[in-house]
Amino acid sequence: AAYLLHALTGGDVIDVSGDYVLFGNLEEKKQAVYLIQLTNHTWKKMNIPRKLRNDMEIHLVKTQKKILITNKKRAYLVDVSAL
């Protein structure tokens, strides 16, 4: 799946947590990042601020159906209940 996504978008796997993959091209200024749910084959396009893009990590919060995206300085909590 990661190879196909890379071929289609020129992006890379940024991080993985459980069934979720954060995927995109961090070199491009305006390139979107995608959060992909592997089990259901669903995805969410996300515009993550450039300040957060360096050393990004994702952490699954199963009890709340949310993903924490952080670079250890800033963090965003993303609702993934629809994925």
What phi and psi, each to the nearest 5 degrees, are found at residue 26? -80, -10
Task: Report the amino acid identity of residue 21.
Answer: V
Please check whether residue 60 is in contact with residue 17, taking contact to mean a CB–CB distance below 8 angstroms: yes
pTM, to two decimals = 0.71
Average model confidence (pLDDT) across the chain: 78
Q: What is the pLDDT of residues 44-65, one digit of tens each?
A: 888 777 777 777 888 888 778 8
Cβ burial of 36 (10 Å; 0-12, 13-18, 19+) is buried
Rounded to an integer, what distance in angstroms lies between the CA atom of residue 60 and that of residue 1?
20
